Structure 1
Amino acid sequence: MDGLRDFLAESGFDTDQQRAVIKQFHRRQLHKGELFGQAGRICDQLAFVEKGIFQFFCDRNGDEITTYTAGPADFLVSLGSFLKQQPARESIRALTDSIIWVITKQAFTQLRHDLPPFETFYVGILEDQINCIEESRYNLLTLTAEERYQRLMAEEPHLLQEIPLQYLASILGVTPRHLSRIRGHIR
């Protein structure tokens, strides 16, 4: 709860507003391998990660493709599904034992309506997600696999220790074998 409270405080919410928002969240523990969201189902919850690492992934011809990872102080949501209330195209799995704080779509929408600073907060989250998606797409299209790996090493070195090799390879758009060659070349 402290992580969520701190995040809200850093986002400009006063103490009473923090209490109003936090009251709408409930704590949930997920074990390694457990799903938060599943492809084909409507995502009607959003979660704040207090502890843990999560993998966003989809299936392509029987192969799991990791599209994103999230860790502490990140949000979990299949955004298109949550916003449009359509079936999700991706699943979200805990890669470690995790603690998250979950809010329903209904409570989220009510907060947007009742608490003006929450609407501003919501727009900020959307803008961050759009920037993240754009950066990821740009990197995937313009950088080599080696350059993407070097950027990962510089910007998120903890992921190299916490995420299994096959998921890292998928994030970088390469096979695990190719990632091993890249790692050997860079060392």
Structure 2
Amino acid sequence: MDILREFLQESGFDAGEQSSIIGQFHRRELSKGNLFAQAGRVCDQLAFVEKGLFQFFADRDGDEITTYTAGTADFVVSLGSFLKQQPSRESIRALTDSVLWSISRQSFNQLRQTIPSFELFYMGLLEDQINCIEESRYNLLTLSAEERYQKLMTDEPHLLQEVPLQYLASILGVTPRHLSRIRGQIR
């Protein structure tokens, strides 16, 4: 919980607001391989990752397509499902044994209504997600696989150590074999 409190403090919440917010979160442990969210079901929880690594993925003709990864001090949620209360198009799986701080949609919305600074915080989170999605889409459409890998090396080098090769390949839009060739050329 200390990492969540620290995150909230860095986000500008005072001690009273931090306590009110943290009081709505519940500790949850997920073992490696367990799902936080499942495609086809409504995601009614948002969680802050205290420890662990998560894979966001979709099924396409029996193949898993990794769309995103999240780790310590990130949030995990199937955002469209959480916001619209529609079945999720993706699943979210723990790649490691993990500890989360989870909040229900109902409690989340209650915080938005009762703590004005939480609504501003929420808007900031949404803006960050929109920018992340836009950059990811832009990179996938305009950069070569080699350029996307180099950008990953520069922007998020920890992922190269933490995320299995097949998931990195999927995120970059290449096969694991192609990614191995790219890595060999760049070293």
Query: 1:13-162 alignment to 2 at 5 Å?
Result: 13-162=13-162
Mapped to 2, the partners of 1:96 and 1:182 lie a distance apart of: 26
Mapped to 2, the partners of 1:140 and 1:96 lie a distance apart of: 27
* Match of residue 167 from structure 2: 167
The AA in structure 2 aligned to 1:53 is: L
Matched, 1:6 2:6: yes
- Please give the secondary structure, in 1, of the residue aligned with 2:64: strand
The AA in structure 2 aligned to 1:117 is: S
Mapped to 2, the partners of 1:136 and 1:31 lie a distance apart of: 28
**Deviations 1:40-89, CA, capped at 9 Å, x for gaps:** 00000000011111000000011000000001111001000000000000
Mapped to 2, the partners of 1:146 and 1:11 lie a distance apart of: 35
TM-score, structure 2 normalization: 0.99
- Please give the secondary structure, in 2, of the residue aligned with 1:55: strand
Mapped to 1, the partners of 2:97 and 2:141 lie a distance apart of: 33
- Please give the secondary structure, in 2, of the residue aligned with 1:103: strand
Deviation at 1:155, TM superposition (A): 1.1
Mapped to 2, the partners of 1:53 and 1:141 lie a distance apart of: 26
Moved over 4 A (4+): none
Unaligned runs of 5+ in 1: none
Residues matched between the structures, number: 187
CA RMSD of the aligned region, Å?
0.5
* Match of residue 182 from structure 2: 182
**Deviations 1:77-127, CA, capped at 9 Å, x for gaps:** 100000000000000001111111000000001000111111001001000
Mapped to 1, the partners of 2:30 and 2:21 lie a distance apart of: 22
The AA in structure 1 aligned to 2:181 is: R
Mapped to 1, the partners of 2:148 and 2:95 lie a distance apart of: 22
Work out the percentage of aligned pairs sharing the same amino acid.
78
Deviation at 1:160, TM superposition (A): 0.7
